[in-house]
Amino acid sequence: MGAAEKMSALTIVERLDELPTLPKIVYELSRVINDPMSSTLEIEKVMSSDQSLTTKVLALANSAYYAIPGGVTSLQRAIAYIGYDTVNQLVLSASVINALKVDHSQSFDTTLFWKHSLGVAIASEVTARMVHHKLPSDLFTCGLIHDMGKIALFILAPGNFEETLAFAKANGVTLSDAESALDSPSHAILGRDLAIKWHLPGFLQAATAYHHQKDVSQRGGVSQEMNVVVDIVLIANLLIHAIQFGDSGHAKVTGAPREVLERLHLNSDKLKELIAKIKSSLVGADAFLKIIGGGAV
């Protein structure tokens, strides 16, 4: 089948099995970290099975993004400084980016795509802290993978994806709106299907599936806790578009829905404060992306 040919949504979903699986370390590390009886030694033991990821975690711990005083030379010290959950998020992030690695085309720059995704990850974590979510590091991961359905489409059905990109740019609409106008497969739903294939937690599946859906009644009956996760990622995504950090495939900037802001208790003053904190937190993001595998920016 030629690269420019279009495929049906069913064919694309069936081809998801052509994408790589995530490495076993992702699941083993998650299991150990979620065990309240686990120790740093056990995490080091799991990490030792993948030297490449261990090297990335150490490089990130010593990067401008974390700015640990004096730096660290051992995984044990890195874990002590950045914490179990952060190590887990870094391993999952690097593994997802590696699994979806593909050269960018003239119309779609994957380096700028991952820059946008990292921006949403950072913005989601900052927003989570502001609204007092109990696990901000989980929101980082949600933000990073929220658009992974786009990369999956780019890999599996370039004809469909290129048409959607062209429509979005020509008509000044979002990629999601272009998909609806063209009756093309939804990157959000494909991202959810990929999250299911990879056995990722339910909150990650919800974030990929509904990050464009402001109406909670249209989110497939997800829990209140997951609705908060989706709301955070939805707002973070819109703010990163407004800041114009990276490029996810369209230039349309959409205002933050009032009902979502109200659910997160973000009034105009808090929203201004949030935007300032996000901009400040984006410093060092390029170094993070280069190390983790999203390319040099």
77 pLDDT higher than 80:
yes
Sign of CA dihedral 130, 136, 138, 143: positive
pLDDT at 104: 67
297 pLDDT higher than 80:
no
Cβ 50 vs Cβ 25: under 8 Å:
yes
Q: CA–CA separation, 160 vs 97, rounded Å?
A: 22
CA atoms within a 13 Å half-sphere pointing along the CA-CB vector of 171:
15
Every domain of the chain and the residues it spans: 1-19+103-283, 21-99
pLDDT at 155: 93
Burial 34-49 (b: 16+ CB within 10 A, else e): eeeeeeeeebbebbee
Q: What's the DSSP call for residue 17?
A: G
Burial (CB count within 10 angstroms: exposed 0-12, middle 13-18, buried 19+), residue 116: buried
Instruction: Give 97-131 pLDDT, tens digit per residue.
Output: 999 988 767 788 999 999 999 999 999 999 999 99
Q: CA–CA separation, 297 vs 118, rounded Å?
A: 12
Tell me the pTM.
0.92
1-19+103-283 classified as CATH 3.40.47.10: no
